[in-house]
Amino acid sequence: MKLVIENLTKTYKNGVKAIDNLSIEIGTGMFGLLGPNGAGKSSLMRTIATLQSPDSGSVTFGDINVLEDNMSLRKVLGYLPQSFGVYPKMSAEDLLDYFATLKGIANKSERNAIVKEVLEITNLYDVRKKHVAGYSGGMKQRFGIAQLLLNNPKLIIVDEPTAGLDPAERHRFLNVLREVGTNCTVIFSTHIVEDVKELCNEMAILNGGRILKHTTPQEATNDLMGRIWEKTIGRDDLEENEKLFNILSSNYNQDNSLNIRVHSLEKPSDDFASVTPQLDDVYFIALKQDEPVLTS
């Protein structure tokens, strides 16, 4: 089912316009919403999840008018907020059984079956008897996915789920999400470019409440072929190079020299070498082009 957002705007009481006349269509599969802190990712997700109302605009999911019919959307929605709050001292199994009851699954054997299924999908079956309060960060996030799967959602929204996870836990989490996302619409927000690269078939870069780019990771990097250049400079030469070239990123080498990556249609100077574009380059270019142009 397709999620269609048209001319959505949200201004908070303090005057911050967190979503600015945003329009986008999102189809089935894993959709990555990439943007820096404060870009408006959570605001957009909370609005789609019917937890807050926008000033104007429309949101539809299939034939559901999301803003006018919150309840119909909630029946097919699985939402994992940025922080899930405090967990009681209950085992994962008991807590999921409780959530399943709240979600209206009255029949005990039906509940047992779905609880077992979501524990298996999220690789928590072996630790189902342990208290969720004692779970590691990654296990808690996977538990968050388990709870949202209880009502077999068609639209899944997860808000920065990998923030703070160690690399092994992050991989485990992404694998679970990949499996879950095969036959529904998953919107996944992150400020980690690598998450999107590993997981998503489609993506958007968000900043200032606006979509800067809507693309696929493959297409975005292909478009930059022959336009990303690298050279090594001394660490004291960065400022001078910044004046000459459109530097996207710089990384220290072990000998304290710097590799700079530059975006240019042509070879910037003889000492640059052409390199394979990465998704980071796409992200930095989009954000750079969004910077206000200073005139003096």
Ligand X SMILES: Nc1ncnc2c1ncn2[C@@H]1O[C@H](COP(=O)(O)OP(=O)(O)OP(=O)(O)O)[C@@H](O)[C@H]1O
Q: Which of 2, 7, 12, 179 is in the footprint of ligand X by CB under 6 A? A: 12
Q: In angstroms, rounded to a whole number, what is the distance separating the alpha carbons of residues 56 and 54?
A: 5
Instruction: Rule CB under 6 A: say whether 39 interacts with ligand X.
Output: yes
Instruction: Rule CB under 6 A: say whether 256 interacts with ligand X.
Output: no
> How far apart are CB 53 and ligand X at their closest, in Å?
13
Q: Site for ligand X (CB under 6 A): how many residues?
A: 14
Q: Outline where DSSP puts E strands in the chain.
A: 3-11, 17-26, 29-34, 56-61, 64-65, 77-80, 155-159, 185-190, 202-207, 210-215, 228-233, 247-252, 258-263, 273-274
Q: Which of 37, 256, 295, 296 is in the footprint of ligand X by CB under 6 A? A: 37
Instruction: Rule CB under 6 A: say whether 54 interacts with ligand X.
Output: no
Q: In angstroms, rounded to a whole number, what is the distance separating the alpha carbons of residues 41 and 33?
A: 7
Q: In angstroms, rounded to a whole number, what is the distance separating the alpha carbons of residues 90 and 182?
A: 31
Residue 200: CB atoms within 10 A of its CB come to: 25
Q: Which of 7, 25, 38, 108 is in the footprint of ligand X by CB under 6 A? A: 38
Nearest 10 degrees: CA dihedral of 3, 220, 43, 165? 110
Instruction: Rule CB under 6 A: say whether 16 interacts with ligand X.
Output: yes
CA 126 to chain centre: 28
> How far apart are CB 72 and ligand X at their closest, in Å?
25
* Residue 140 token pair: 């808690």
> What is the per-residue binding string for ligand X in 178-217, x denoting contact by CB under 6 A?
-------------x--------------------------
> What is the per-residue binding string for ligand X in 122-161, x denoting contact by CB under 6 A?
--------------------------------------x-
By CB under 6 A, name the binding residues for ligand X.
12, 14, 16, 18, 35, 37-43, 160, 191
